Amino acid sequence: MSSPSASVVTPDRNGEDPVITVAQGRVRGKVARDGARFFLGVPYAAPPVGARRFAVPHEPASWSDVRDARVPGPSAPQSSISFPKIDMLPLAGDGWTKGDDYLTLNVWTPHDATGCPVMLWIHGGGGTVGKKDIPVNDGAAFARSGVVYVAINFRMGVEGFLPVPGAPTNLALRDMQAALRWVQANIAAFGGDPNNVTIFGESAGGMHVASLLGSPLSQGLFARAIVQSGHGSGLYPIDIARRTVDRVAKLLKIRADAESFRQVAPEALLNAQGKVMGPVGLDLRNADGFDPNFRLNRFNSVYGDDVLPVDPLTALRKGAGTDVDLLIGACRQEGNLWFVPTSLQGRIPGFAARWLLGKTMPRASEVLKAYGLGQPGMGGGGAALNRALTDLAFRWPSRQFAAAHRGRTHVFEFDWMSPALDGKLGACHGVDLPFVFDTLDVASGPRGILGENPPQALATRVHALWAGFARTGGLPWPEFDEQSRAVHRLSVDTTIQEEVMPASVFLPS
């Protein structure tokens, strides 16, 4: 794929809408009120339908007319997500926008951009929901900060993550790498520097960033990586992930092979997919009795193929990603998103907490005791389980990933406490996103995850840190290593030497 000239930006007939030439043809975008330009729904791969369903991504076809890139276009098949008491639409999107041509991306670029740093966003959503067009992930602020911002769709759920026999594995990661190759070939036309690309993502998107960092097929595709509420420890080997394939096939009453799955409508796949999600049911523990996802997610990348010969944590310890700058961290009270709006924090007794955690790991009673179960003033089983899962599934694995990385590494903790739900939501999963993107308005209000009047000064500072990291790789606090354990708490703007968490005793090293 040849790289287009960076000097092909022209206005359309009315002198307003910009037109840019990429390898496949011309695309017409739009000018925002502040002068930034955006281009929506630009294909980086062909539609994954027909024979290309459950197949590696193919280059998109060329077009002769100017393609309208002013509307978002379709998204990957998905169900909607909701939480009681809070509005998740700004963070999770409004569900499936149907259409075949969804392997597309959005580009936001500053006016008259040239040689700008590039940031490519990989959305979260548990590997089953999300898209490039979620309100909280709007790219306008990054364009104002001199960054060319790219957000991508990719295959999810059964079609993106399950290792279906007869189909290539890790199709979602292959989609992401195809998008990164498209960026390498085309981003100069939008004023971006292909030699200065930062990938970043949150939650499952953070997991995908970690996986891309550990993949030998990512070499040369990006220079920096930001992992928010993710890490490299949540992947399954192919043989264990095949249990999910077999269960879905059984629900659909089909053979567990690619040709059979290709015949199933996306709606039916989504229905079966929904039946294998949730905290009980399908057992994905390994021989040691450990499920690295704690049943929070059945749909993630796998290792043991050409994309990920080994799990990302092992890959980093062997030197993968040494030349990539890494910023990684988590929210201080991740589990509150699941335990507070649902009132599970106060409803789960100790015996039920032990049973639930025991379904994913050994020594569950010891874990919960280490996280306050039975101690005065520490709440019941739900509170202890919340604290334990916050560290087990998010905070400690992120520190393990940081310690394994052989290149320049910085660690943050997002510690601002949301006042939502009478102050109980706190520094929950996802609360960092509106600050990173400087989109506080979309997540504020009576049902917003941020509650009323979140601090704009913190959003301005956090957003500037992310944009600055993309520009130079620098951050105003010390690097992390296992001795210094330097962790920067963003809300109080203070770097601490963090103590080792109780979870470290119970997780694989």
Contact present, 416 and 491 (Cβ < 8 Å): yes
Pairing of strands 192-202, 116-122: parallel
pLDDT digits (tens, 9 = 90+) for 336-392: 999 999 999 999 999 999 999 999 999 999 999 999 999 999 999 999 999 999 999
Give the C-alpha separation, 394 to 434, whole Å.
19
Q: Where are the beta strands (DSSP E) in 468-507?
A: 486-489, 494-497
Amino acid identity, position 47: P
Give the C-alpha separation, 298 to 279, whole Å.
10
Indicate if the pLDDT at residue 4 is higher than 70. Answer: no
Separate counts of helices (H) and strands (E) for the chain:
17, 17
* DSSP per residue, 76-110: -S-----BTTB--HHHH-S-----S---EEEEEE-
Indicate if the pLDDT at residue 9 is higher than 60. Answer: no
Pairing of strands 302-303, 325-331: unpaired
Indicate if the pLDDT at residue 60 is higher than 70. Answer: yes
pLDDT digits (tens, 9 = 90+) for 260-273: 999 999 999 999 99
pLDDT digits (tens, 9 = 90+) for 68-125: 999 999 999 999 888 899 999 999 999 999 999 999 999 999 999 999 999 999 999 9
Give the model's pLDDT for residue 80: 86
Give the C-alpha separation, 313 to 213, whole Å.
10
Q: Coil, strand, or helix at residue 347?
A: helix
Contact present, 169 and 163 (Cβ < 8 Å): yes
Give the C-alpha separation, 106 to 297, whole Å.
27
Contact present, 420 and 449 (Cβ < 8 Å): yes
Indicate if the pLDDT at residue 459 is higher than 90. Answer: yes
Pairing of strands 30-31, 37-43: antiparallel
Q: Which of 101, 112, 102, 117 is nearest to 187 (CA)?
A: 117
Q: Which residues are catalytic?
A: 203, 334, 429
Q: Give the residue-averaged pLDDT of 222-238.
A: 98
> Mean of the per-residue pLDDT values for the chain?
95
Residues 6 or more apart whose CB falls under 8 angstroms from that of 354 comprise: 364, 365, 368, 381
Name the band, by pLDDT with cuts 50, 70 and 90, for residue 455. very high
What SS3 string covers 256-296?
CCHHHHHCCCHHHHHHHHHHCCCCCCCCCCCCCCCCCCCCC
Give the model's pLDDT for residue 34: 87
Contact present, 166 and 243 (Cβ < 8 Å): no
Indicate if the pLDDT at residue 11 is higher than 60. Answer: no
Backbone phi, psi, residue 499, to 5°: -75, 155
Indicate if the pLDDT at residue 310 is higher than 90. Answer: yes
Pairing of strands 37-43, 104-109: antiparallel
Give the C-alpha separation, 136 to 205, whole Å.
14
Q: Which of 94, 42, 36, 34 is nearest to 72 (CA)?
A: 42
pTM exceeds 0.85: yes
Give the model's pLDDT for residue 3: 33
Contact present, 94 and 130 (Cβ < 8 Å): no
Give the model's pLDDT for residue 281: 74
Cα separations (Å) of 116 from 38, 205, 222, 300, 383? 15, 23, 14, 32, 46
Domain boundaries, the chain: 10-235+294-332+387-505
pLDDT digits (tens, 9 = 90+) for 402-452: 999 999 999 999 999 999 999 999 999 999 999 999 999 999 999 999 999
User: What does the angle CA 358 – CA 364 – CA 365 come to, to the nearest 5 degrees?
Assistant: 125
Give the model's pLDDT for residue 15: 52
Contact present, 490 and 458 (Cβ < 8 Å): yes
Percent of the chain with pLDDT over 90: 93
Give the model's pLDDT for residue 369: 98
- Please give the class, per CATH, of domain 10-235+294-332+387-505: alpha beta
